Structure 1
Amino acid sequence: MEIEQFHIVGINYKKTDTSIRGQFALNTQGYANLLIKAQGLGINSLFVLSTCNRTEIYGIVPSVELLTELLCSETQGDINTFKSLAYHKSGRQAIEHYFHVACGLDSQILGDYEIVGQIKQAVKFAKAHNCINAFLERLSNTAFQTSKAIKNQTELSGGTVSVAFAAIQFLRLHLSDISQKKFVLVGTGKIGHNTCKNLIDYLGAKDITLINRSQQKAEVIAKELGLKTRPFEQLKSAADAADIVIVATNAPQPILFKEDLQSAGKKVLIDLSVPRNIDLLVKNRPQTILVNVDDLSKLADATLKTRQGEIPKALTIIDAYLAEFTQWYQMRKNVPIIRAAKQSLLDIHHCSWFQSLQAQQCVNPQQQEDAIKTAIKNLAIKMRSQEQTPGCAYIETLHDYLNNTAIQGHALENGQGHPKMDSEPLSAEPH
């Protein structure tokens, strides 16, 4: 059963800081390697969510231990450290956890609307590597629909609801004349892109230089927003000349150090990366402020109480979508029986004596096809309502189909010798 074998194991901000989470962050190459390993073990449905606040692996596997070993085989951290800090959930609890994460209820900043986009990318990557089966795809799509409904129908995502926006709030509190400051933004992925737009929209920043390992990607965003770019090789000189440096890359180690910043004057450095991409010793530089994602998550937000008040509404919406998914899953379990019943009806339909009787009654092929469709539709309705056991519903469908086509009456009239099927019903015992 897929639900019983659906597991999730991971670590997040609740028990670990950025230094620990960084040890278990997964880059693109590591993710690809993990998926290849999983397929080698016969696992065909799993994905990994690795963000600044969490690293979690979701999959349909025989045991949680297998997921743990797969994840730690491609990360820098020690597996025993991971086990001591990790949480795991299975079955229904794992599904509920997935929905809570996708909807921002489990985020470091309540209502974080960026997390669902990160999950979509993680699932898309796994699907491209043939590691998402029908169950996990349906579950993911339902979680995404739930997240959208909560965003549209509640105020859970009101106010500061992402790390990218928390960075903007932090700058508002600690700097004046922000629009006149010189910014360097390193990393133009989703978080970097969102942060850049926020700098322009909310702070009126004009002097922003984008730096990315792929300069072409940075130039696309720079053209879109009317900004400047510099090659990655000029990161140190650009950062040294800037007032504010924001780093949002997925580099596995720091890319900016104290010795890279030689000029005098106040400097604010914001590290949105996990693992850390700005060395902690930068704090020892005079007039320097360095903050990371954990620091930003503690930022006081006037809308937090409002968002907390929206949690019951969000949970009600989640329950509704969970019920919808459960119904789909129950029907999916019945598919083999429905297929078997349809095949049995087709076999009867193609039987020579049945065809001769239908010809005598002038029943055309379209009428026969419609009769089969009606029988299968009624079977699906009965199984969905769980009025009968699958075996009973299957046999009753065959019985009703034969009765509705009036085989027994014509068979007797023409001396075929078949039993009169409406005199004694077929056994309702499942086979």
Structure 2
Amino acid sequence: MQLYTVGINHTTAPIAIREKVAFDPDHLSQALLDLMDHKVSEAAILSTCNRSEIYAKARDPKIIIDWLCKYHGIKLKIIESHLYVYENQEAIQHAFRVASGLDSMVLGEPQILGQMKQAIKTAENTGSLGVLLNKLFQKTFSVAKEVRTKTDIGMSSISMAAASIKLAESIFGDLKTSKVLLIGAGEMIELCAEHIKNRRPKSMTVANRSLDRGLALAKKIKGDACLISELYDRLHEFDIVLSSTASQLPIVGLGMVERALKTRRNRPMFMVDLAVPRDIEPEVGELSDVYLYTVDDLSHLIEEGLTNRQSAAIEAQKMIDHHVKDFTQWFKTRTIVPTIKALRDHAESYRITELKKAQKLLKQGMKPEEVLDVLSKALANKFVHHPSQALNQAKGEEHELLTKTLKKIYPLKD
């Protein structure tokens, strides 16, 4: 069994591909249980707007890839060129980099660490974490904390939420006359709400499937709330729309926006879709009076303070490399423990067999020194029998490798 990471992220695939393999957080536990039924002994799934990654202990990464395609109902050829697969040491390093923010679209952003912790908590509650992944992520979070504490990797970074508001300001200028709609009530929308609240817009409305959750967020920002089902009749009221839900299907369709624009008499609408899969149908972006942006479109706005963070990233990578080396050594030790135990058990079976023979010889009256001689010769012959046999049967490179191995194991002279 090896440690694997199989995934797709913002550097390997556009949003149109990423949304095909995004996991619904409400069904993540069931996905993990399903994966565990496919010859995977440990598993955790990290799914955000920028990445879908599976960390697993398995015999072959193909098992994980085949399951990923089957689970999402897509053909391998659609995602094959966008996939990355990391094994053992590379998988360890990748986990450390992701948690530390070195692999994020926003270099050093802190949100990914919380998302990763939630993913591991879900796996733990589901029962899909074993000794290996549990140890890996304990170390991962420890390394991330050290990196963020001892370097400036998170300094001057601008979040997706902040980038969305800055973009709105670049189009509308002062937002004090703008009416804002927030679709969803999760962490991303809450971050957006905090940023936009400080701009004092004319009004803020939270639309959510659960009115209670919507009202709770609305209360924090001194806004109002409505159900998502009300948007068809209310969308025209809003100048700025920010959406981030866990819906597997679009919430805002082309027809809904066209209807809203007619009522608005073609006054422009600014829309940011921070969800993966997307909440707003991409065709909406083709309308002349709509400014529609996705998470991929925001990448150019998140470069502020990048130079300082890149310097910090070099320092952070050195720290990560050190911890990767240590953890890899622990991992290798764990993988050879079963082999060492099997070797010791094998030797013990020889000892017991020959000891019983020796005891019989003693009972038959043989002298103890003669019994010891017979016993020691028998053990010596048994211990060298299999290595000798393997060496005699080996040919070419295998013979050369076995010879070197035996000389390394035993202090043999040429």
Q: TM-score range by the shorter chain?
A: 0.7 to 0.9
Q: Which residue is equivalent to 1:211?
A: 207
1:199 and 2:196 are equivalent in the alignment? yes
CA distance in 1, matches of 2:6, 2:250: 27
Q: Which residue is equivalent to 1:279?
A: 281
Judge conservation of contact 1:11–1:54 (CA < 8 Å) in 2.
yes
CA RMSD in angstroms comes to 2.8
More moved, 123-132 vs 42-51: 42-51
CA distance in 1, matches of 2:182, 2:339: 58
Q: 1:161 to 1:302 in 2, by over 3 A?
A: closer
Partner SS state of residue 73, structure 1: helix
Judge conservation of contact 2:151–2:315 (CA < 8 Å) in 1.
yes
Q: 1:36 to 1:114 in 2, by over 3 A?
A: same
TM-score relative to the length of structure 1? 0.72
- Structure 1 position 175, deviation (Å): 2.4
1:133 and 2:135 are equivalent in the alignment? no
1:32 and 2:29 are equivalent in the alignment? yes
CA distance in 2, matches of 1:142, 1:105: 16
CA distance in 2, matches of 1:74, 1:333: 30
Instruction: Report % sequence identity.
Output: 29
- Structure 1 position 269, deviation (Å): 0.3
- Structure 1 position 69, deviation (Å): 1.6
In the alignment of these two chains, the number of paired residues is 341
Judge conservation of contact 2:157–2:302 (CA < 8 Å) in 1.
no
Judge conservation of contact 1:11–1:55 (CA < 8 Å) in 2.
yes
Uncovered stretches (5+) of structure 2, i.e. residues with no partner: 345-382, 384-408, 410-414
CA distance in 2, matches of 1:206, 1:46: 47
Q: 1:300 to 1:61 in 2, by over 3 A?
A: closer
Q: 1:333 to 1:41 in 2, by over 3 A?
A: closer
Structure 2 counterpart of 1:321, one-letter code: H
Q: Which of 137, 145, 148 lines up with 1:151 in the alignment? A: 148
Q: Which of 176, 179, 184 lines up with 2:181 in the alignment? A: 184
Q: Which residue is equivalent to 1:119?
A: 116
CA distance in 1, matches of 2:238, 2:157: 26
1:2-42 per-position Cα deviation (integer Å, ceiling 9, x unaligned) = 6xx00011111223211111111111355333222233234
Q: Which of 285, 291, 294 lines up with 2:293 in the alignment? A: 291
1:76-96 per-position Cα deviation (integer Å, ceiling 9, x unaligned) = 432222223211110101110
- Structure 1 position 274, deviation (Å): 1.1
CA distance in 2, matches of 1:280, 1:200: 27
Partner SS state of residue 55, structure 1: strand
More moved, 5-14 vs 152-161: 152-161
Q: 1:238 to 1:305 in 2, by over 3 A?
A: farther
Q: Which residue is equivalent to 2:406?
A: none
Q: Which of 225, 229, 235 lines up with 1:233 in the alignment? A: 229
Judge conservation of contact 2:89–2:328 (CA < 8 Å) in 1.
no
Q: Which residue is equivalent to 2:44?
A: 47
Q: 1:79 to 1:29 in 2, by over 3 A?
A: farther
- Structure 1 position 271, deviation (Å): 0.4
CA distance in 2, matches of 1:84, 1:45: 26
Q: Which of 2, 20, 28 lines up with 1:23 in the alignment? A: 20
Judge conservation of contact 1:243–1:267 (CA < 8 Å) in 2.
yes
Structure 2 counterpart of 1:233, one-letter code: S
Q: Which residue is equivalent to 2:309?
A: 307
- Structure 1 position 337, deviation (Å): 12
Judge conservation of contact 2:168–2:240 (CA < 8 Å) in 1.
no
Judge conservation of contact 2:163–2:298 (CA < 8 Å) in 1.
yes
CA distance in 2, matches of 1:319, 1:161: 26
Structure 1 counterpart of 2:178, one-letter code: K
TM-score relative to the length of structure 2? 0.75
- Structure 1 position 333, deviation (Å): 7.0
CA distance in 1, matches of 2:193, 2:186: 10
CA distance in 2, matches of 1:172, 1:10: 35
Q: 1:85 to 1:329 in 2, by over 3 A?
A: closer
Q: Which residue is equivalent to 2:319?
A: 317
Structure 1 counterpart of 2:323, one-letter code: Y
Runs of 4+ that moved beyond 6 A: 333-338
Uncovered stretches (5+) of structure 1, i.e. residues with no partner: 341-389, 392-428
Q: 1:206 to 1:331 in 2, by over 3 A?
A: farther
Judge conservation of contact 2:163–2:302 (CA < 8 Å) in 1.
no
1:171 and 2:168 are equivalent in the alignment? yes
- Structure 1 position 324, deviation (Å): 4.8
Higher RCO (CA < 8 A, seq sep 6+): 2
Q: Which residue is equivalent to 1:418?
A: none
- Structure 1 position 187, deviation (Å): 1.2
Q: Which residue is equivalent to 1:253?
A: 249
Q: Which of 67, 75, 85 lines up with 2:82 in the alignment? A: 85
